[in-house]
Amino acid sequence: MAGDRFATAVALRADLDAGRVSSLTLVEAALARAEAAAGLGAFVHLQPERAHADAIESDQRRARGDLRSPLDGIPVAIKDLMVQLGEPCTCASRILEGFVAPYQGTAAAKLREAGAVIVGRTNMDEFAMGSSNEHSIYGVARNPWDPARTPGGSSGGSAAAVAAGIVPIAFGSDTGGSIRQPASHCGVVGMKPSYGRVSRYGLVAFASSLDQIGPFARTASDCALALAAIAGHDAADSTSLPEAVPDYAAALNGDVSGLVIGLPREYFAEGADPAVVECVREAVAELERAGAKTREVSLPHTSYAIATYYLIATAEASSNLARYDGVRFGRRAQARTLGEMYRRTRSEGFGAEVKRRILLGTYVLSAGYYDAYYRKAMQVRTLLRRDFEEAFRGCDLIATPTAPEVAFRIGEKTADPLKMYLSDIYTVSANLAGIPGLSLPCGFVNGLPVGLQLLGRALDEATLLRVADAYQRRTSWHEQHPTPSWERPT
Amino acid sequence: MSYVATMARINPAEVERIADLARLELAPDEVERMTAELEAILGYVAALEQLDTTGVEPTLFARLVATPMRDDVAAPPLDPEAAVANAPERSGSAFVVPKVLEEDES
Amino acid sequence: MSARLQPHANYEVVIGLEVHVHLRTDSKLFSPAPVRYGDPPNHDTHPIDLGMPGVLPVLNRRVVELGVRAALATHCKVHPQSIFARKNYFYPDLPKGYQISQYEDPLATGGWLEIDVAGYDAPVRVGLTRIHIEEDAGKSIHDTAIAGEAGSHVDLNRAGVPLLEIVSEPDLRSPEEAAAYLRKLRELLRWADVSDADMEKGQFRCDANLSLRRHGATELGTRTELKNLNSFRFVEEALYAEIARQAELLDGGGRVVQATMHYEPARRTTRVMRLKENADDYRYFPDPDLLPLRIADADIEAVRRALPELPDDRRARFESEYALSEYDARLLTESRALADFYEAAATESSAPKVVANWMLRDVLAQLKERECEIDATQLTPIALAKLIALVENGRVTAASARPLVAALIEHGGDPEALVRERGLEAVSDTGMLESAADEAIAAHPDIAAQIRGGDPKGLNFLMGQVMKRTQGKANPKAVREILARKLEA
Ligand SMILES: [Mg+2]
Ligand SMILES: [Zn+2]
């Protein structure tokens, strides 16, 4: 029996262990829900054959009693920029049409090692560039709470898949908020680990110094299991941290007493929807009731974060996306000469937002502007990093809104790129500083979920998970689910 | 160095030069639109100019200091068939691209 | 120092060279794919070399070690921190659309090497600006016989092969000096086991920057860049052609335009390949996939300690230790293999100076004839030392021994056995020599009489006659004694 579509991985594991259900049944149910939810646009590719085979193997392991991890046999989804040997990987871009990966990415390899069953690949903004999942060749992904609204982005499909109860766990990537912001908008838990905590080998690069893979789940405890499956040093990624991974599940002791939560003045000042801020303040108050202390902190360079982020991210992206040239893989435009091939392939293959960012990044790095833009941004990055170092001298973690508002309507911001960029105002700093961030549901405004963002010291994911778990033990926001209005009758 | 960093406004000719560097072809209306959008974004990022960063070390990486190194051990290469399997055009195990013409060399 | 060559009457020639050299590694700079030559297209790649989406580079430790070795061998300062940067440009054989190189912070800077130029009585010191690590690109094959009319083929076997780029100061003043610099650099890199530097395999490639200025002028003229001068002969030819082109321009009141030039060997001319403009905006920035390369002092010292004795030091030691002339020592240190061979043979022998003579006269002549290196032959230092000992002990004559050098080079073997097999033992049998001497005297009574009359001029002739009658095997010392006795005045 597939049972409750909103069952957590922890609950499903208990069902599997008790023999109440098989992995194959769970996987088939997840695939069926994904099919039925086509209208949500959460998935861009399902992989039933591989998933079936993997589920059967997992059931055999369980019968033999040699399970690989708590996720063994659990269906999961991955964002369409995580490379998986023998499967397509398009980054929701026309330019990668038809591409099938000839190698295994580290995250996919680790998920297999953990026994998790990947059922499909999720929708996203093209090359992870966007905050609404509207820039995808597969069409928009929709918010399960209100299909007229975006799920956020760029990992919109992963957030929607978890919120809609298709899979208990999905993975995305976060370069400036691309996990946390959609998690907030879809009412799920989403975590961006510390830079270097999860290998980027096999993560198609947007901005190399900012990108991290991270999990989505409906609870902090599922999130802990999911992070444990993919975290750890990888010799194939030079920027991977050679640090031991703590036992995240064991860190979830429900105890937050004595923890000091910093509330950055600049994040509560203005600009955010007051109703959103109210939810966040109430969530902080709940943590205080659980024994945490709060104090105001300052992150004085916050107002420069978006500008800094867009200079660094686009500069890196302009170079990272140079490899899409129609020579070795992907879609090539008809052309007579080499120059024509490059220009047409790239102009037809990339969407408007990607082109905009490539142009900005090329400009930022081009002769005469490097010092004014790129070097300057790298210096401001130092200041932002120091802001956090300073703040963490006086607190153990920081709490803020994840996004300034709840999920916006599809089409609402597409006409004004800058306005869209400002959706990431509370999230980009964590990427620039390389620290972990987590968003968890903390209430509703007009029936739409609000996210509480927790930021931690570098490598201290455990504290964020512990606090999020403690909060969820005391509240029930995470137990509220959207009505599956998107399902086609079958 | 006495170089003073200044952030410039962008014009359509500049957008075309940048597009050429990035191997993107923009239709005239696209050039116009991109110019306006980039100008708005550059106007926004110009706020960084106000910040005095004299003597501030640029951050490349948050925590990492030295690049790791691997031993010089060769692994079996990718099967040549897999290497070119995704190629839009191939001949045997070689990738094929249109000829470079003189007009391309600029 | 004698005057340096002046290739042009009106202008001083200023040349700086950029050399790209493949490092002697088993795997690539940032991927574990093997470094191999001559395989069919795309047989030696890893997804990293193909620039597949999502791949990342990891630095090969051996490359750093070899880079440091090259830097120390050329007296460069190795920097404790260097930074990998991306050089962005589009070309089909550049899979990622950028080359990982080093830009603002290279591996090493500020070295020099001394070059020997034919006709100069002292070496010239040439400055080295920098040495940096970078990856090679693949190959585009435009040959219509292979790729057809409409397209080009792209082979990425070479993509990611580790390179050092070694940039000289504009200290060279003639094509001859440029060629001498390249020879010296190539030998040094081979000597230090940094590279095989086989030009035919593309392991040692040269670009040249050349400008002219009026004699006595201090400012540099506008330079052009000559790309891919891939043999020593081409380097000199191409530079002379470019000197002629620039001089003609300047003589006619024109000016040189900054450009990349291509040398056409068939016509012995250079032509403009590409003007330097927008395309050279490479948008360098630090590669965010790699962290700074940190090299500890202790590691630099370890490389220094492991460095073999370098040619200049070795030459000096040969002069003092084996009493060789500077000229002979220089010849014997032209390659590490040759110097090692000599030293091994000299150590075996009681007469190192004699060994040097045999090396310079007989062995080198054979190598030249065969166009091969000493280590590609069957000859061993012990065999050579043994052969020389046989001559020194009078067991075989020098004349008999000489042809054996060729045999030993070709087939190897033990000189003593070879002498025995071929019946080349020197004849010291007095009876046989006495009768040969009598025959020679009888056949040339006039010369015998002259000698008896007190004029020894003909003695050598008679000795030759005796040698002839003994097929060159007669012990010359014994023959001389017998003849002298028989012809005593
Ligand atoms: Mg160069
Ligand atoms: Zn180079």
| Whether B74 and C156 lie within 8 Å, measured CB to CB | no
Strand (E) positions, B14-86?
69-70
Identify the band that residue A490 occupies on the pLDDT scale cut at 50, 70 and 90.
low
Residue of C nearest to A208 (CA): C288
Burial class from Cβ neighbours inside 10 Å (0-12, 13-18, 19+) for residue A296 reads: exposed
Chain A partners of B49 at a C-beta cutoff of 8 Å?
376
First-residue to last-residue Cα distance in chain A? 18
**Model pLDDT, residue A334:** 94
Name every residue whose Cβ is closer than 8 Å to that of residue C41 and which is 6 or more positions away in sequence.
B80, B92, B93, B94, B95, C153, C154, C155, C156, C157
Mean pLDDT of A333-339: 94
Under a CB-based contact definition with an 8 Å cutoff, are residues A142 and A393 in contact?
Answer: no
**Which portions of chain C are predicted below pLDDT 70?**
1-2, 277-279, 428, 489
Q: Which of C407, C441, C438, C436 is nearest to C422 (CA)?
A: C407
CB contact under 8 A, B77 and C44: yes
**CB contact (8 A) between residue A323 and residue C291:** no
Q: Residues of A with CB below 8 A from B63's CB?
A: 194-196, 241, 434, 458
pLDDT of B7: 54
Q: Is A79 a catalytic residue?
A: yes
Contacts of residue A54, Cβ cutoff 8 Å, sequence gap at least 6? A27, A112, A117, A118
d(CA A232, CA A210): 17
Question: Which residue in B16, B78, B79, B89 has the most chain C C-beta atoms within 10 A of its own C-beta, making it the best mutation to test that interface?
Answer: B78
Q: Which tokens go with C195?
A: 């590279």
The answer to whether A19 and A93 are in contact (CB under 8 A) is no
Going A100 to A101 to A107 to A108, the CA torsion angle's sign is positive
A413-445 residue pLDDT tens: 888 888 888 889 999 999 999 999 999 999 999
CA–CA dist B7, C162 (Å, integer): 38
B8 CA from centroid of ligand 1 (Å): 29
**Structure tokens, B44:** 């926004």
Phi-psi region at C144: left, alpha or beta (left = phi > 0; alpha = psi -120 to 50): alpha
With CB atoms and an 8 Å threshold, state whether C35 touches B74.
yes
Which among B67, B74, B99 has the least Cβ separation from residue C290?
A: B67
CB distance B51–A242 less than 8 Å? no
- pLDDT-based confidence at B106, cuts 50/70/90? very low
Cα C228 to middle of ligand 2, angstroms: 11
Tell me if chain A has a CB within 8 Å of the CB of C27: no
Rounded CA-CA distance C142/B97 in Å is 10
Q: Say whether A208 is catalytic.
A: no
Q: Which tokens sit at A258?
A: 């004595």
Distance between CA atoms of C419 and A96, rounded to whole angstroms? 74
Helix (H, G, I), strand (E, B) or coil at B79: coil
pLDDT at A1 over 70: no
Q: Please give the Cα distance from B97 to B95 (Å, whole number).
A: 7
Interface test with A, best of B15, B39, B51 (most A CBs within 10 A): B51
Q: Which two three-digit tokens encode residue A282? A: 């109430």
Chains in contact with C via at least 3 Cβ–Cβ pairs below 8 Å? A, B
Catalytic residue status for A178: yes
Peptide bond into A131 cis (omega under 30): no
pLDDT over 80 (residue B9): no
- Determine the pLDDT at residue C147: 86
Judging contacts by C-beta atoms under 8 Å, the chain B residues touching residue C288 are 60-61
φ, ψ dihedrals at A398, nearest 5°: -125, 140
Query: How far apart are alpha carbons A473 and A432 in whole angstroms?
Result: 31
Q: C19 CA to middle of ligand 1, Å?
A: 9
Q: Which spans in C57-200 are helix H? A: 61-73, 144-147, 175-191
Amino acid of residue A116: A
pLDDT in tens, B61-90: 666 689 999 999 999 999 999 999 999 999
DSSP percent split of chain C into helix, strand, coil, nearest 5:
40, 20, 40
Instruction: Name the 3-class secondary structure at A100.
Output: strand
Under 8 Å between Cβ of B81 and C43? no
A286-315: per-residue pLDDT in tens?
999 999 999 999 999 999 999 999 999 999
Which of A144-153, A374-383, C141-150, C242-251 is the least confident region? Answer: C141-150
Q: How far apart, in Å, are the Cα atoms of C191 and each of A332, C60, C312?
A: 47, 22, 11
Of the candidates A93, A155, A173, A178, the residue annotated as catalytic is A178
> So what's the pLDDT on residue B102?
54
Report DSSP letters for C266-316, one per residue: TTTEEEEEEE-SGGG----EE-TTS--EE--HHHHHHHHHHSPPPHHHHHH
Distance C74 CA to ligand 2 centre (A): 18
What span, in angstroms and rounded, lies between the C-alpha atoms of C210 and C223? Answer: 5
Contacts of A328 in chain C (CB under 8 A): 50-52, 95, 154, 156
Q: Percent of chain A at pLDDT above 70?
A: 99
Cα separations in angstroms, C269 against C234, C236, C239, C244: 11, 12, 10, 9
Determine the 3-state secondary structure of C198 from DSSP: coil
Point out which residues pair with A149 in neighbouring strands. Answer: A409
Q: Degrees (nearest 5) of the Cα angle B59, B65, B66?
A: 130
Q: How many CB pairs under 8 A join A and C?
A: 104
- DSSP code of residue A143: B
Q: Which of B76, B93, B99 sits opposite C151 (nearest CB)?
A: B99
Q: Beta strand A293-297 with A260-264: parallel, antiparallel or unpaired?
A: parallel
Alpha-helix runs per DSSP H in A350-416: 352-365, 376-391
Tokens standing for residue C381: 């230092």
> What 8-state DSSP symbol labels residue A422?
G
Q: What is the pLDDT of residue C423?
A: 79
**What does the alpha-carbon distance between residue C168 and residue C151 come to, in Å, rounded to a whole number?**
37
Instruction: Kindly identify which residue of chain C lies nearest to residue A88, measuring between CA atoms.
Output: C53
- Selecting from C53, C98, C285 the residue whose C-beta is nearest the C-beta of A83 gives C53
Over residues C9-46, the pLDDT tens digits come to 999 999 999 999 999 999 999 999 999 999 999 999 99
Phi-psi domain of A274 (left: phi exceeds 0; alpha: psi -120 through 50; beta: other): alpha
> In which residue are the tokens 């149910």 written?
A29
Q: Does C149 touch chain A (CB under 8 A)?
A: no
Tokens for C349, please give them.
């022998």
Question: Dihedral sign, CA of A107, A469, A273, A210?
Answer: negative
- Tell me, in angstroms, the distance from the centre of ligand 1 to residue C18's CA: 7
- Chain A residue numbers with beta carbons less than 8 Å from the beta carbon of C151 are none
DSSP label at residue A375: I
Q: Do the chains contact at A372 and B5, CB–CB below 8 Å?
A: yes
Interface size, chain B vs chain C, as Cβ–Cβ contacts under 8 Å:
137
* Residue-level pLDDT at A414: 86
Residues 6+ apart with CB under 8 A from C487: C441, C448, C451, C452, C459, C462
Distance of CA A379 to the CA centre of its chain: 27
The yes-or-no verdict on residue B101 having pLDDT over 90 is no
| For A361, nearest residue in chain C (alpha carbons) | C283
State the Cα–Cα distance between residues A407 and A149, nearest whole angstrom: 6
- Report the C-alpha gap between A205 and C57 in whole angstroms: 13
d(CA A216, CA A333): 37
